[in-house]
Amino acid sequence: MTETTRLQELLPQPAEVQPHPEVTFTLDPSAAIVLTTEDARHPAERLAEILRPSTGYPLEITTTPAETGIIFEQSETPAEAYELEVTATTVTIRSATPAGHFNAVATLRQLLPPQAEAKTEQPGPWTVPGAKIQDHPRYPHRGAMLDVTRHFFTTDQVKRYIDQVAAYKINYFHLHLSDDQGWRLEIKSWPNLTKIGGRTEVGGRTGNFFYTQAEYADLVTYAQNRGITVIPEFDMPGHTNAAQASYPELNDDDQARDPYTGIEVGFSSLAIDKDITYAFIDDVVREVAAITPGPYLHIGGDEALTTPDADYQAFMTRALPIVQKHGKTAIGWHEFVKTTEDTTPVVQFWNQTTADENVAAAAKRGNKVIMSPANRIYLDMKYTEETELGLKWAGHVEVEASYDWNPGAYLDGVTEEDVLGVEAPLWTETVASSADIEYLAFPRLTAAAELGWSPQSTHDWPGFARRLGAQAKRWEVQGINYYRSPQVPWQD
Ligand code: TNX
């Protein structure tokens, strides 16, 4: 395989790639990573962390100008955009923001041989094909969601998945932190949420299945150092059995619920008419907002099947302003949008239909929409009847189905401009290990990444499948347990 081939295997596909096949850059053992802007400090450190073990080179980060090596420069490109120029002697990355530098690092990793991703020293040589790449995202929101409630995942497991999605320019990581089966984040003013609600998960195993606030803050920093913003979700007014098991006063009848370890949905609801419900929400949002630097807080709102419409309306009318009061922008599963005329909250569409009156009306008023149609991009749907793991209420979702749709023209009345981006949720009723996460996420997560990043003009299933097939070498080096879909021409 020549270096130039790697330019044709980039995923997500960049906006513009000019090959310069007459030149090749080779990383020298004494090469430095040169910073001419502090904006690139974390991206540069991240690159060095990845390349030092595999190359065995020191790759010192320096602010002393140099004529050779990997050079990060400030430029006037728009927000997340970057330029990457490879000559015989330099790799120059130019961007106006840390986010753009992170995006360039993700591209540069794929321009190096797959062994660059190894955790142990490899022979090299560490070549990069000559080229000039000018790139920018289609949408500002490219998300991955992990449900840590149905099954709990340790911070190391979450970090592993964050690392994996960062390689594909995912910039938001949505953590589903509360549901019927568990409450997963310490709330200091309501300690039983984790003491009781954090003890159980699907299947009945028990343990300390929650993050302390310090552990959560560490996850947030870890993600930030990879160009990713964490979005915490506390689902309400349904999907709340764990909270209702922890505090009897959150129930209409003042009776604590039993812990729930099954996988049904839609049976629980907080007490809607009690003031204590909103005092509870205020405390949760206040504590979580204080340790969440990102702009968003997700309040769920899905499948409140036992909450009558009028109650649901009354609940959202009180809950949404609490998020705003604590300085965050609310995101909700699309059901909530029928309750408000406010155009600030972001709508996350998850259904299987291609028309939703309420979402269309909200988009028309000015609300932004995140696209997560279940029959396309729910990573927990089974690939086929034969593949293990996953559910199938939204059908089987093979790789082509997860890629072959247009987020900007999918929902009636929701235009390209209304779409904030694409997010791939991974619900974990059937998922209990990192290997399980990876089997369902890889390869479909890359479809979400490409739909969120690449210009629609580059949309092409055979081309995507070919570039996807080339990723396997990288996944094998990293030990990622991916599904070898027969739809993809895998290269080994
Ligand atoms: C629906 S779609 C849910 C989740 C389940 C998922 C399983 C949505 C917002 N809620 O509670 O885990 O289906 O696929």
pLDDT digit string, tens, across residues 367-420: 999 999 999 999 999 999 999 999 999 999 999 999 999 999 999 999 999 999
* Domain of residue 361, CATH code: 3.20.20.80
Query: Using 50, 70 and 90 to split pLDDT, how confident is the model at 2?
Result: confident
Of the residues 73, 215, 303, 400, only one is catalytic, namely 303
Query: Using 50, 70 and 90 to split pLDDT, how confident is the model at 3?
Result: confident
* CA-nearest residue, atom 6 of ligand 1: 427
Listing DSSP states for 380-440 in one string gives: TB-SSSSSSS-B-TT----HHHHHSS-GGGSSTT--GGGEEEEEEEE--TT--SHHHHHHH
Which of 135, 159, 180 is at the close of a domain?
Answer: 135
Is the peptide bond between 237 and the residue preceding it cis, with omega within 30 degrees of 0? yes
* For range 107-135, the mean pLDDT: 98
Residues contacting residue 486 through CB under 8 Å, at least 6 positions apart: none
Catalytic, 303? Answer yes
* For range 183-195, the mean pLDDT: 98
Would 174 be classed as within a structural domain? yes
Would 312 be classed as within a structural domain? yes
Spatial contact of 445 and 165, defined as CB atoms under 8 Å apart: yes
Tell me, yes or no, whether 116 and 199 share the same domain: no
Q: For residues 417 and 186, what is the distance between their CA atoms, to the nearest angstrom?
A: 38
pTM passes above 0.85: yes
- Looking at ligand 1, which atom is closest to the CA of residue 348? 9
- Ligand 1 pocket residue status of 336, Cβ below 6 Å: no
* For range 90-100, the mean pLDDT: 98
* For range 124-148, the mean pLDDT: 98
18 CB burial (10 A radius; 0-12, 13-18, 19+) = exposed
Would 433 be classed as within a structural domain? yes
Torsion angle, alpha carbons of 54, 59, 61, 63, to 10:
-150
Tell me, yes or no, whether 82 and 181 share the same domain: no
Which of 135, 151, 169 is at the close of a domain?
Answer: 135
Tell me, yes or no, whether 131 and 145 share the same domain: no
Residue spans of beta strands (DSSP E) within 235-335: 296-298, 329-333
Tell me, yes or no, whether 223 and 288 share the same domain: yes
* CA-nearest residue, atom 11 of ligand 1: 265
- Looking at ligand 1, which atom is closest to the CA of residue 351? 2
- Ligand 1 pocket residue status of 349, Cβ below 6 Å: no
Q: Which residues pair with 381 in a beta bridge?
A: 391
- Looking at ligand 1, which atom is closest to the CA of residue 429? 12
Tell me, yes or no, whether 258 and 352 share the same domain: yes
Q: What are the two backbone dihedrals, phi and then psi, of residue 92, each rounded to the nearest 5 degrees?
A: -110, 130
Q: What are the two backbone dihedrals, phi and then psi, of residue 234, each rounded to the nearest 5 degrees?
A: -120, 110
- What single DSSP character describes residue 492? -
Tell me, yes or no, whether 274 and 412 share the same domain: yes
* Domain of residue 36, CATH code: 3.30.379.10
Would 126 be classed as within a structural domain? yes
Q: For residues 351 and 255, what is the distance between their CA atoms, to the nearest angstrom?
A: 33
Model pLDDT, residue 4? 85
- Ligand 1 pocket residue status of 333, Cβ below 6 Å: yes
Question: Looking at the 3D structure of the chain, how many domains does it have?
Answer: 2
Compute, in angstroms, the gap from residue 333 CA to the centroid of ligand 1. Answer: 10
* CA-nearest residue, atom 5 of ligand 1: 427
Which of 135, 169, 190 is at the close of a domain?
Answer: 135
Tell me, yes or no, whether 383 and 317 share the same domain: yes
Would 98 be classed as within a structural domain? yes
The helix (H) or strand (E) run that includes residue 41 is helix 41-55
- Ligand 1 pocket residue status of 263, Cβ below 6 Å: no
The two three-digit tokens of residue 214, written as one number: 């310090």
Tell me, yes or no, whether 155 and 126 share the same domain: no
What confidence tens digit (pLDDT) does each residue in 247-305 have?
Answer: 999 999 999 999 999 999 999 999 999 999 999 999 999 999 999 999 999 999 999 99
Candidate from 335, 377, 427, 444 with most ligand 1 atoms within 8 A of CB, to mutate? 427
Tell me, yes or no, whether 24 and 172 share the same domain: no
* For range 457-476, the mean pLDDT: 98
- Ligand 1 pocket residue status of 438, Cβ below 6 Å: no
Mean pLDDT taken over the chain: 97
Tell me, yes or no, whether 55 and 162 share the same domain: no
Task: State the number of CA atoms in the 13 A half-sphere of 382 facing the CB.
Answer: 13
* CA-nearest residue, atom 7 of ligand 1: 427
Answer yes or no: is pLDDT of 1 > 70: no
What confidence tens digit (pLDDT) does each residue in 331-361 have?
Answer: 999 999 999 999 999 999 999 999 999 999 9
Tell me, yes or no, whether 367 and 400 share the same domain: yes
Would 154 be classed as within a structural domain? yes
Residues contacting residue 7 through CB under 8 Å, at least 6 positions apart: 17, 19, 111, 129, 131
Would 29 be classed as within a structural domain? yes
- Ligand 1 pocket residue status of 279, Cβ below 6 Å: no
Compute, in angstroms, the gap from residue 395 CA to the centroid of ligand 1. Answer: 13
Would 24 be classed as within a structural domain? yes
* CA-nearest residue, atom 2 of ligand 1: 350
Answer yes or no: is pLDDT of 366 > 70: yes
Tell me, yes or no, whether 441 and 389 share the same domain: yes
Q: Which domain holds residue 365?
A: 141-457
